[in-house]
Amino acid sequence: MSESTRPAWQRGLGYGLFALVSFLVSLYWTFDYSLLIPRLSQFLHQATGADVRIEELAGYRLSGVKIAGLTLAAPGLSQGGTAENSLTIDQITLRLKLLPLLLGRQTVAFSARLAGGGIEGLLSKRGQQARIALQVKGLVLDRIGLAPWLGKGAIKFGGKLDGKADLLAAELANPAKWAGEMALQWDAGKIYPFKAQGVPVEQVNYTKGDFKLKIKDGSATLETFRLLGPDLPIEVKGSVSLRTPLSQSYLDLAGTVDASPDYKKKMPLVAGLLPPEKKFTYQGSLSALTSLLQAH
């Protein structure tokens, strides 16, 4: 190439790159992201089983999106559903990481504000295998409904939740193909009034709680689920066979539970609910267990 033609070539390349970047930036700023709401809602419905409502969807940092007002409601309650039967995320951002993409791995960084706290982490996918790692910070349990996953009338907890989870999945939407671990802790709170086998149970206060679960090939070991406090301390261990939907997971549990003298005075009927020698076992589905323990 001669010296006389090189400047024109350089100018042409510069103009072309400028035009391409201008087009991409213009597309980013002018694209109507609301057109993607129906497709995203359908994807989330298939992944969670919940009814989905999204108020706003917008671009975020060139390679991401920002969702405002995302609500996951128990099926049939998307219209007029109560807070106990839904989970509302104030804002969530998702951003595609470009460097892992060059190596054949799709990685999305996400962060969410909800229930007075937040969740942040990574979701990566390579072929059929996916990994999700997340950290939970200061979620106010009083503001979180479990009904979208455990069914209507699920027991409601209070307190603040912290913890982390690291899951590897051959299929992210299929719990039977998960592996990894989860560790959660929560501070002083309460279990709101509920019914045990149809018998009303007064509010249970606790000072500390923790939950540890290890998963391999869809089979989970519940190392501990423990609530310490002045009313009804409980500790549970066992195994869980994860299934789809999650509410059909099979539990094989054993634990101890007792009531303090003060709580027995407040609720005399609790003595008839407690197992002999303070020990109990349970074998059955998660949905069957939640049907035995229902919120008022």
Report pLDDT for 100: 54
Q: Coil, strand or helix: which one is 138?
A: strand
CA–CA separation, 190 and 49 (whole Å): 28
What tokens were used for 103?
């190596």
Mean pLDDT of 287-292: 79
Report pLDDT for 249: 87
CA–CA separation, 210 and 227 (whole Å): 7
pLDDT mean across residues, the chain: 77
Comparing 101 with 171, the larger pLDDT belongs to 171
Report pLDDT for 271: 77
Query: What is the tens place of the pLDDT at every residue in 3-42?
Result: 445 555 455 555 555 555 555 555 555 556 677 678 777 7
- Residue 223, pLDDT > 50, answer yes
The domain spans of the chain are 128-296
Among 99, 145, 148, 149, CA closest to 122: 99
Q: Are strands 51-60 and 178-186 parallel, antiparallel or unpaired?
A: unpaired
**pTM score:** 0.70
pLDDT band at 144 (very low <50, low <70, confident <90, very high): confident
Query: What is the tens place of the pLDDT at every residue in 150-163?
Result: 555 667 888 899 99
Report pLDDT for 224: 92
72-76, 109-113, 211-215: least confidently modelled range: 72-76
pLDDT band at 109 (very low <50, low <70, confident <90, very high): confident
The dihedral region occupied by 150, where left means phi > 0, alpha psi between -120 and 50, and beta the remainder, is alpha
Query: What is the tens place of the pLDDT at every residue in 52-73?
Result: 888 877 776 666 678 888 887 7
* Concatenated DSSP letters of 41-110: HHHHHHHH-SEEEEEEEEEETTTEEEEEEEEEE-TT-TTT--GGGEEEEEEEEEEE-HHHHHTT-EEEEE
- Residue 225, pLDDT > 90, answer yes
Report pLDDT for 246: 76
Report pLDDT for 63: 65
Q: Give the residue carrying structure tokens 């807070």.
A: 83
Report pLDDT for 251: 93
